[in-house]
A = this chain, B = another copy of it.
Amino acid sequence: MTKHWSTDRTEAFSDGVFAIAITLLVLDLHVPDDELTNLWAGIAAQWPSYLAFVTSFATIAGIWLVHHRLFAHMDFINSTVIRINLLLLLDVTFLPFPTRLMAQALNNEDAERAAVLFYGATLLASSLALAAVWRAVAGDHSLVASGGQDEGGELKVIGRAIVPGIGLYVLATGVALVDPAVGVWAYFFIALLLIVRVHNADGPAASS
């Protein structure tokens, strides 16, 4: 039997990383000094930064919601889940870099496509990592005190929220190849969809 730990510190460390990554995004929002003379125009001209900001915010928020529901279901954690979770955190800490790049490159014909695709690849990696954490949890029944009965099909509900994200990111990246600007909006709506779906109370899990 493998060694088990309480999930407390993994939750605390993950919450710290999510909270910091989501808050660091704001450091890339700024208006150059020479646009102060017409500040409303200067603020408006930063729209690619805002789109990148809210898309990454929504993505990390969605990942946090899944993480929250998945870990609320677990009573213990094993070494495999801890390590795969670190891969997820690696992707989340990396996300501010492609976010910044995309904000830099939107409105720039040459760079836009590469930046959006690079951003999309990072999101795709995060959805794969999230699914891998979920699979590792589903694969060890002893992580749930009730013996992994998956009462109310909780794990199935979570899986149904995560897994389609992988396909959607592949699809949106195809769209981004053709039209990068549309691709960014697709990434934004995928994140919103995850936020809407993951904590939905319908299905067999709808019990107190």
A contact set with B: CB distance below 8 Å: 1-6, 9-13, 15-27, 29-31, 33, 36-40, 43, 53-54, 57, 61, 64-65, 68-69, 71-72, 78-79, 82-83, 86, 89-90, 93-97, 100-101, 104-105, 108, 110-111, 114-115, 118, 142, 195, 199-201, 205-208
Residues of B within 8 A of A61 (CB): 86, 89-90
CA distance A105 to B22 in the complex (A): 26
Residues of B within 8 A of A5 (CB): 68-69, 72
A-B contact pairs, 11 of them (CB 8 A): A1-B207, A9-B15, A20-B23, A26-B94, A31-B104, A33-B104, A36-B105, A36-B108, A37-B110, A39-B110, A68-B82
Residues of B within 8 A of A78 (CB): 201
Q: A207–B3 contact, CB under 8 A? A: yes
CA distance A96 to B6 in the complex (A): 30
Q: B72–A6 contact, CB under 8 A? A: yes
A20, closest chain B residue (CB): B23
